[in-house]
Amino acid sequence: MATTVEQHPAQTLNGAEHGREGIPVENPATGEIVATVPDLGADAVAEMAKNARAAQPAWEELGFEGRGRVLLRAQKWLMDNAKQVIETIVSETGKTYEDAEFAEIAYGANAFGFWAREAPNYLKDERVKSSQLLVKGKKIQLRYRPLGLIGVIGPWNYPLTNSFGDCIPAMAAGNAVILKPSEVTPLTSLLMAEGLRECGLPEHVLQIATGRGETGAALVEEVDMIMFTGSTATGRKVAEAAAKRLIPASLELGGKDPMLVLKDADVERAANVATYYSMQNAGQTCISIERVYVEAPVYDEFVAKVSEKVRALRVGKPDGFGSVEVGAITFPPQLETIKDHVADAVAKGAHVIAGGHELPGAGRFFEPTVLVDVDHSMKCMTEETFGPTLPIMKVKDEEEAIRLANDSPYGLGASVFTTDTARGSAVARRLEAGAANVNDAMVNYTVLELPMGGAKASGLGSRHGAGGIRKYCAQQALVVTSRVALKREPHMYPYRAKTSRLIARLFKFLYGRGRRD
Ligand code: NDP
């Protein structure tokens, strides 16, 4: 496809900027270079920030209705242009057409409508009642106002869902946004920005800062709040830089999601869910199923079903709907991590019962792989693999499954399979994860009404729900005293012993009455 680059004054068509080499964008399924984008430096990011700050007040002034109209037009634009957007996503990620349609287009379209509709509800002024005597009769309100300029740093695995899942609520709240997409997958962001402009988004309300890690670091220096999705290691760097500037940071980081299959589970459903949610997007999803613990009585049946289903998956270059189930490995170093985790497991005694190898040829592919006889001495059970691999471990009971599931620095998602949903919910509540599904996996991400965020090293803050838009705002407490108020209230100067003793007695009456046990 042709490059579609928002022209920054310092950019030229070959992607060069201020003498910096452009960044070539590769199709991971073919190895071909499909475009070159600019590698913007700190000066260009600073200029973008200046333009964004100039554009933001008018955007805020438009109000929820005016902003919502643009977002609803964008929802329609995305549906009308779905084919072009899917082809762009596939060209830079190598994912299947279904992975682009189900997990990116559908998410994006829903998100435009959701935030257009819900922003005014989540951000409207709240009338607050207080038990505090001093403010009786006063009007007390909580108000949310946009922070101004939000930086969004996106990863390469879902160029639409991950990045725009944050840009949309940030803009709906009245902020200007600068998005720094992954250097590996910048084209979807550029196309989406063009679409939004067609839908009437004012100039500079959303700008795309293409570049490498250095561009992301420069962005953190310019914005009022940073939303980051990516690895835990880079997330820490971003959090440190944000802390130095005292700006808020929200971080969605890595995961090692466990799946627990209890002995009373519907094994056929559990096997289908395990196969799909470990291999979908070639396993390159922060909430992929990365490891499975199966109670001994159903272990053999589960392993047999999963390995048969995984062996049947077609892997290779996507060529329209229905062409393959598993696409390419998007990020070159990821392939080395996947190979390393499989080799490490095998060296320590694991057995590969499906797949296990990189595919030869031009693109970057790894066979859908099932590992058994695994344990927590192996990287495949403790470190994020982010690939089409599924290690399965036999456990003696529910307690052991819970203990091992929680034996991880990560805590993004988790799932439990049992026909006893009360038991499933009780187990889910004991898992140290930001989200837990019973008899399903990953679907919580589609529920925009629910917070999506990680426990432990999986992140800080959350996206979606009320918190997913309020984080792009400053809270302001408003207390309004009527003009008919007393000229001098009893606690004010001058202090008089009699009045002070009376007030002290009043406090004792309010807070000190009655027995406590
Ligand atoms: P990174 O965390 O390095 O990159 C994420 C984003 O941050 C990219 O846009 C990257 O730019 C940018 N970035 C890099 N360095 C800095 C910096 N110092 N300051 C600000 N921004 C920066 O992830 P990778 O793409 O390298 O993937 C590494 C691992 O992260 C994967 O193997 C996987 O385990 C995990 N991951 C998790 C994801 C999730 O959804 N939680 C998504 C993707 C990856 P650039 O790409 O240009 O370097």
> Residue 491 Cα, ligand 1 centroid: separation in angstroms?
56
pLDDT attached to residue 323: 97
Please name the residue that has the structure tokens 């930001």. Answer: 434
> Residue 215 Cα, ligand 1 centroid: separation in angstroms?
12
The average pLDDT across 156-182 equals 98
Letter string b/e over residues 306-327, b meaning 16 or more CB atoms within 10 A of that residue's CB: bbebbeebebbbbeeeeebbbb
pTM of the model: 0.95
The average pLDDT across 164-168 equals 98
Give the position, in ligand 1's atom list, of the atom nearest the Cα of 184: 46
Tokens of 107: 């998410």
Q: Judge whether 252 counts as a catalytic residue.
A: yes
The average pLDDT across 504-510 equals 93
> What value, to the nearest 5°, has the Cα angle with vertex 446 and ends 442 and 452?
75
State the DSSP string of 226-280. Answer: EEEES-HHHHHHHHHHHHHHT--EEEE----EEEEE-TTS-HHHHHHHHHHHHHG
Average pLDDT, the chain: 95
- Among protein residues, the one whose CA lies closest to atom 13 of ligand 1: 213
pLDDT attached to residue 6: 44
372 in Cβ contact with 303 (< 8 Å): yes
pLDDT attached to residue 14: 55
388 in Cβ contact with 355 (< 8 Å): yes
pLDDT attached to residue 333: 96
Pocket test residue of 95, 184, 232, 234 for ligand 1, highest count of atoms within 8 A of CB: 234
* pLDDT at position 126 over 50: yes
- Among protein residues, the one whose CA lies closest to atom 28 of ligand 1: 231
Give the position, in ligand 1's atom list, of the atom nearest the Cα of 285: 40
- Among protein residues, the one whose CA lies closest to atom 21 of ligand 1: 216
469 phi, psi to nearest 5 deg: -120, -30
First vs last Cα of the chain: how many Å apart? 73
pLDDT attached to residue 9: 43
- Among protein residues, the one whose CA lies closest to atom 5 of ligand 1: 230
* pLDDT at position 7 over 70: no
Give the position, in ligand 1's atom list, of the atom nearest the Cα of 253: 41
Distances (CA, A) of 404 to 256, 350, 410: 12, 17, 12
> Residue 251 Cα, ligand 1 centroid: separation in angstroms?
11
276 phi, psi to nearest 5 deg: -65, -50
Tens-place pLDDT, residues 279-291: 999 999 999 999 9
Tens-place pLDDT, residues 318-345: 999 999 999 999 999 999 999 999 999 9
Of the two residues 131 and 258, the one the predictor is more confident about is: 258
Of the two residues 11 and 202, the one the predictor is more confident about is: 202
pLDDT attached to residue 11: 43
The average pLDDT across 430-444 equals 97
Strand positions, DSSP E, 262-350: 289-295
> Residue 334 Cα, ligand 1 centroid: separation in angstroms?
11
pLDDT attached to residue 18: 61
* pLDDT at position 272 over 90: yes
Cα(435)–Cα(445) distance, rounded to whole angstroms?
Answer: 9
139 in Cβ contact with 480 (< 8 Å): yes
Which residues have C-beta within 8 Å of that of residue 41, sequence separation ≥ 6?
17, 18, 20, 211, 214, 215, 218
> Residue 29 Cα, ligand 1 centroid: separation in angstroms?
20
Tokens of 210: 């293409």
pLDDT attached to residue 15: 67
Distances (CA, A) of 156 to 261, 293, 409: 31, 29, 23
Please name the residue that has the structure tokens 């190898």. Answer: 357
The one catalytic residue in 17, 252, 290, 383 is: 252
Q: Judge whether 286 counts as a catalytic residue.
A: yes
- Among protein residues, the one whose CA lies closest to atom 22 of ligand 1: 213
306 in Cβ contact with 406 (< 8 Å): no
Determine the length of the chain. 517
Tens-place pLDDT, residues 55-96: 999 999 999 999 999 999 999 999 999 999 999 999 999 999
Is the omega angle on the peptide bond into residue 494 within 30 degrees of 0, that is, cis? Answer: yes
pLDDT attached to residue 133: 83
The average pLDDT across 422-432 equals 98
Tens-place pLDDT, residues 455-493: 999 999 999 999 999 999 999 999 999 988 899 999 999
> Residue 234 Cα, ligand 1 centroid: separation in angstroms?
6
pLDDT attached to residue 2: 38
Confidence class of residue 136 from pLDDT cuts 50, 70 and 90? Answer: confident
- Among protein residues, the one whose CA lies closest to atom 38 of ligand 1: 230
Closest C-alpha to 158, from 139, 182, 136, 141: 182
Tokens of 487: 């000229």
Residues with CB under 6 A from ligand 1: 153-157, 162, 180, 182-184, 212-213, 216-217, 220, 229-231, 234, 237-238, 252-254, 286, 331, 334, 337, 384, 386
Give the position, in ligand 1's atom list, of the atom nearest the Cα of 412: 41
The one catalytic residue in 167, 286, 380, 473 is: 286
29 in Cβ contact with 363 (< 8 Å): yes
Helix axis angle, 42-61 to 213-220, nearest 10°: 50
Tens-place pLDDT, residues 12-43: 445 666 668 899 999 999 999 999 999 999 99
- Among protein residues, the one whose CA lies closest to atom 42 of ligand 1: 230
> Residue 231 Cα, ligand 1 centroid: separation in angstroms?
5
Cα(310)–Cα(305) distance, rounded to whole angstroms?
Answer: 9
**Helix (H) or strand (E) segment spanning residue 416:** strand 413-417
> Residue 155 Cα, ligand 1 centroid: separation in angstroms?
5
- Among protein residues, the one whose CA lies closest to atom 44 of ligand 1: 230
* DSSP character at residue 452: B
Tens-place pLDDT, residues 199-254: 999 999 999 999 999 999 999 999 999 999 999 999 999 999 999 999 999 999 99
Tens-place pLDDT, residues 350-403: 999 999 999 999 999 999 999 999 999 999 999 999 999 999 999 999 999 999
pLDDT attached to residue 356: 98
**Percent of the chain, pLDDT > 90?**
94
